[in-house]
Structure 1
């Protein structure tokens, strides 16, 4: 999206850290590192070592090698400088790079847990800049940094940048590390980098997307007034030499710190700065663009910076978080055209707000205050240049749409410090790019939506253009592949999670493919086929719901290549089905037989399924429960298990560790105690009723007029007697526990009935759901009773004890010691909140399905991408023996299977090309169980690692995905049904 300009970002914290690392590795031989502690494993794990960098011209010698080696031991003297390349070479893994990376960014955990106060988070924030300053203060690094900064901005849709440049040049050196550079030198190097970026953009045909870069000169608000004045003089000297580059002046740093000066404290020099410009230039050429209102204060001295900034004529306000508390100041901003540079994510990370829902940006926009979105320090927050800030606002409210984003993007150019006619020219360019963006959206949506009704022949109810079956197929494939790409990042133990907000406001966090797709609003019929494919896999195997969709997407990509080569879709479909059949045969040959009494094998399969879930750390709790639950229902002769005979009772309270397999029956409804009835019954006789214990009601609504209190009294007595007789009949049967089905029309049991039942010492559990009746009946041996006249002793179930159990703040009813227990299982599932509880229940269901698969077909295969690589290799060998188009199709099918190991590697942060290549080599040597151990980040024997999965999960996924792709290939037209 063309986002216009980025008006508030600090130069040294804008470029993504991956790019910074790439540059530093290139010039690392001229960079030195020092630490406050030795770089031992313990210090790196505990985060004790604080690092700094600087350019160096010291050559690499034997002595420097010894010093570098000492840095990894307790012999190292803190503060001693060592060559970065030498230190890096001593680490055989990425541990040092990961640690340096962590020193330069703020993770979510640090933001919300480790540094959970404003003072702590600002301390870490300042340390990030300290580390970055040393890395960037070297001429070739600074030049390459400037180049990549421009290129990354353009790639993120940001065409114009007003960067806040804080020039601390104490350690800034030239390429030979012989001369300390001045601020003028750093500007010249920056300009060289910008010119290099322009040349690259020209080669890429993107030069029109870059509008320019300007500098807002900055200094720290902790300095004394005389030091600030010196910075102002340097700023004016730079403006005289670079008038088109230096466009503003600002004071930066933690505004709310006790060490920071307020604007009022600097007032004499700030006014003098303006007077000096008026005397020399006749106008203010370097206006103030102040940080102000970056505080939670209300009327505090720091909060008053907002007043002083406006009185000093600031052109814009950086952050302006507390501005919404001052209606008059908002009015002044609106009247004077003072834009607020709103930094949503920065304000959240730096503890001003708990999230976008509490951010005042909406209030500012609603009051007509000009606002633009900025990212402040995206590199430190692990964000791209500006996309996340726009995405965050777009998802904040249903009222936020493209029109809102357009206004914010346009504001970033309208209120920029560009001068006419340049601003007018840039605005025209941006409007053109915005229109092109809208056209692109329309085209993409048209592809996803498929052919429109406008192309329908009214008489035949089919499309007129029957000469374009290829377009129809490609439209279907595009829509289906879009669905596949949505869930691809969720595959495997390191897969990412999706947050889903349902239509009723419920929030779901999951990486389960079936759950994600089930909650998606999918319109395109081809895309819906992939949603149904995931559901089919869930029903048949219970696991592999993400894999089957990813596999289908890859097969569609392979089929598209075959179509583009002119191969007929029927040949492709038939060849793919033949390849799938061969693949299933190959998998069966390498499968490992398993017996139901081999509990360890069942546990390994259930654990493998759980390892890809959010709750994977609790697999040692959930896996045994899943295995034991299925084993209670199955025996050696069983060929299937009905999972409807396993009921999960969900209760908020405690942790997932408290989840348990209940010996007997568990009911999620608590005992009704409002009338003082019992909560514990020994030698229980259980009645399960489907009628109401409340006043009788006629089938039709009638109006009864009572005009005599004696008649009213008689009605009440009749009602009381009616209910008492019912309760006595229940007691006469011997029943002492009553389970009452929920009624949607009226109370299933009213207060008067509860009173009678309490007096008769009968425990009552009401609001039993209709779909629970069969399960309870089967579990307890009691028969559902639909009428009081049929309430007899022979319909009661019996148990040694029924008790209301209190566990971690949750209440449920436990039935134990059943006299005639049925083949059912109850599982009590617990969690700290509903989000965790729902995901735990979904994960447990998948584990149950995996064990059920082993009852249906008692074979296991290795996981970790090993079977896909093996059958890919086998199919490639078969393809070499085939002729014609079938050979091409078999090869394409075999290549498509590699999407599973490739995606597993990608999601684990590994190099997919290197990993898949190594897998091919190991399998070529006959190591057919070699796969990806994503937790260790290497290739190993997955069978030895106990990463095993049921054969039926993979074979079913192959067959179902191939069948779906074949169906899509055979479609060459649409028809709209009347």
Structure 2
């Protein structure tokens, strides 16, 4: 039997070896960073110590709708808001702008009308005569007749409810409402002036959260105006570029944005062929903006990537893949998309929630250096994982896998930017004594695994490094 001091020595050796495997552990902090690291770890421990007395007090284990305000009051969260987080790599464009902004700005525009279609309240911009002819009602009129109309409207455009457990008793029920929120805003945001205001705000919300670049999952939107003009697909991309150019002029440290084309999982093979033909043509016209392809939608009721193998491999040389895969709690069922995402050379995998159940796939992910886009709040709100301490990405973090923390559809649950997801990941998915190293690695990974070309990636790293150094200095002054 080992003597106590030998036992303690062996114990510490094992723990240290595990610590050295965790994401970010290989980074070397300078003197200034080390000082801030100690401060952050102390704040983290202070916040966690309260939770050890009663696990009900642990903020991230409660539903995001119930704990958002407490997150915002956290000292750790306030640091994360100021911390340069690099790039946002997994956000769906139609859920990227806060509902509050949409309601207060876009829905108060003239000629905004509403109507229930297939149990979904939709908003569209119309001339008065066209609206009345088709049964649309002015939002201005609705507001004059319904008390707290904007509160009601928030619930139509988001998942936010007072009691999520009662409103969404199953994964299928929350996904049904979730899909409805995209349908609710779609016609409204296809109005060209509204779309351009919306997209500018989307970039602004990233920038205000200390993010310098964003990649958006979307489909080309059929833009229109009140004069009856229906714009072409290329006009949608021209609008994106016009807004980005203006935003970069207004915000000198913003690197830019890119578009990842999203295909709905239940698409037919014939429609997919047409869709791919069009996006390849658009890629030729907008080679820098359009960077890749993804499949989106509820995996449990969608087709496997394998169903589209021939069509996908035919465009692999022209479009990078960034596939959602393994966003499921099934084992040996819909999680087989992970195999296909890896074999088809997806550069990143969206969610990868089921990955840690598959040792062979984990080996391939590490070997091929495929980044996993982890979206902890999305996984909680969409009922894959109730308590992020039990998130299946924790084993990936603990073994130093390439992970990026992402936001998915932040506006749908009342978030914005990346700080909320970073907070949940940092507080619930990393060890108590894990501090600035993992946060720095999150940011570095977001740059390394972005779709930026080498020249733009170098620019992004230069901008981020300066902002990082400024952040460290500013934080130390205020200690």
TM-score category, normalised to shorter length? 0.7 to 0.9
1:194 is matched with 244
Q: In the TM superposition, what is the alpha-carbon distance from 1:392 to its structure 2 partner?
A: 1.0
Q: State how far apart, in whole Å, the 1-side matches of 2:207 and 2:421 are.
A: 16
- Preserved contact between residue 247 and residue 285 of structure 1 (Cα < 8 Å): no
> Which string of whole-angstrom CA distances, capped at 9 and with x for unpartnered residues, describes residues 35-78 of structure 1?
269xxxxxxxxxxx6311222123499xx5xx9xxxxxxxxxxx
Q: State how far apart, in whole Å, the 2-side matches of 1:339 and 1:50 are.
A: 36
Between 316-325 and 143-152, the greater mean CA deviation after superposition: 143-152
1:35 to 99, 113, 116: 116
2:192 to 135, 139, 159: 139
Q: State how far apart, in whole Å, the 1-side matches of 2:240 and 2:192 are.
A: 9
Q: State how far apart, in whole Å, the 1-side matches of 2:240 and 2:141 are.
A: 29
Q: In the TM superposition, what is the alpha-carbon distance from 1:147 to its structure 2 partner?
A: 1.0
1:293 to 303, 309, 326: 326
Q: State how far apart, in whole Å, the 2-side matches of 1:160 and 1:86 are.
A: 39
Q: Aligned residue pairs: how many? A: 395
1:112 to 165, 188, 199: 165
2:415 is matched with 383
Spell out the pairing of 1:715-734 with structure 2 (5 A cutoff). Answer: none
User: Is residue 439 of structure 1 aligned with residue 452 of structure 2?
Assistant: no
The structure with the largest alpha-carbon Rg is: 1
Q: State how far apart, in whole Å, the 2-side matches of 1:328 and 1:162 are.
A: 29
1:858 is matched with none
User: Is residue 265 of structure 1 aligned with residue 265 of structure 2?
Assistant: no
The SS at the match of 1:379 is helix
With the length of structure 2 as denominator, give the TM-score of the two structures: 0.79
Instruction: State the Cα RMSD in Å.
Output: 1.9
Bigger relative contact order, structure 1 or 2 (CA pairs below 8 A, ≥6 apart): 2
2:402 to 364, 370, 389: 370
1:168–1:433 Cα change, 3 Å: same
Q: In the TM superposition, what is the alpha-carbon distance from 1:32 to its structure 2 partner?
A: 2.1
> Which string of whole-angstrom CA distances, capped at 9 and with x for unpartnered residues, describes residues 400-431 of structure 1?
31211110111011011111121112112112
Q: State how far apart, in whole Å, the 1-side matches of 2:142 and 2:174 are.
A: 29
Q: State how far apart, in whole Å, the 1-side matches of 2:206 and 2:327 are.
A: 25
Spell out the pairing of 1:306-455 with structure 2 (5 A cutoff). Answer: 306-396=338-428, 397-445=431-479
Q: State how far apart, in whole Å, the 2-side matches of 1:333 and 1:303 are.
A: 15
- Preserved contact between residue 331 and residue 369 of structure 1 (Cα < 8 Å): no
Q: State how far apart, in whole Å, the 2-side matches of 1:263 and 1:252 are.
A: 11
2:121 to 40, 44, 51: 51
1:60–1:215 Cα change, 3 Å: closer
1:245 to 262, 276, 289: 289
- Preserved contact between residue 33 and residue 54 of structure 1 (Cα < 8 Å): yes
1:230–1:60 Cα change, 3 Å: closer
The SS at the match of 2:453 is coil
Q: In the TM superposition, what is the alpha-carbon distance from 1:183 to its structure 2 partner?
A: 1.9
2:203 is matched with 150
Q: State how far apart, in whole Å, the 2-side matches of 1:53 and 1:319 are.
A: 31
Spell out the pairing of 1:302-701 with structure 2 (5 A cutoff). Answer: 302-396=334-428, 397-445=431-479
Q: State how far apart, in whole Å, the 2-side matches of 1:263 and 1:390 are.
A: 30
Q: In the TM superposition, what is the alpha-carbon distance from 1:299 to its structure 2 partner?
A: 1.2
> Which string of whole-angstrom CA distances, capped at 9 and with x for unpartnered residues, describes residues 449-490 of structure 1?
xxxxxxxxxxxxxxxxxxxxxxxxxxxxxxxxxxxxxxxxxx
The SS at the match of 1:431 is helix
1:235 to 279, 296, 299: 279
Q: In the TM superposition, what is the alpha-carbon distance from 1:19 to its structure 2 partner?
A: 1.4
- Preserved contact between residue 217 and residue 250 of structure 1 (Cα < 8 Å): yes
Question: Whose helix proportion is higher, 1 or 2?
Answer: 2
Q: In the TM superposition, what is the alpha-carbon distance from 1:294 to its structure 2 partner?
A: 0.2
Q: State how far apart, in whole Å, the 2-side matches of 1:226 and 1:168 are.
A: 20
- Preserved contact between residue 104 and residue 131 of structure 1 (Cα < 8 Å): yes
User: Is residue 183 of structure 1 aligned with residue 240 of structure 2?
Assistant: no
- Preserved contact between residue 23 and residue 141 of structure 1 (Cα < 8 Å): no
1:225 is matched with 269
Q: State how far apart, in whole Å, the 2-side matches of 1:264 and 1:146 are.
A: 34
Q: In the TM superposition, what is the alpha-carbon distance from 1:151 to its structure 2 partner?
A: 1.3
> Which string of whole-angstrom CA distances, capped at 9 and with x for unpartnered residues, describes residues 173-194 of structure 1?
13x3412222211111122222
Q: State how far apart, in whole Å, the 1-side matches of 2:284 and 2:167 are.
A: 46
Q: In the TM superposition, what is the alpha-carbon distance from 1:110 to its structure 2 partner?
A: 5.0
The SS at the match of 1:395 is helix
> Which string of whole-angstrom CA distances, capped at 9 and with x for unpartnered residues, describes residues 680-699 of structure 1?
xxxxxxxxxxxxxxxxxxxx
Q: In the TM superposition, what is the alpha-carbon distance from 1:112 to its structure 2 partner?
A: 2.4
- Preserved contact between residue 120 and residue 183 of structure 2 (Cα < 8 Å): no
Unaligned 5+ segments in structure 2 are: 1-82
1:112–1:420 Cα change, 3 Å: same
1:329–1:418 Cα change, 3 Å: same
The SS at the match of 1:218 is strand
Q: State how far apart, in whole Å, the 2-side matches of 1:56 and 1:303 are.
A: 43
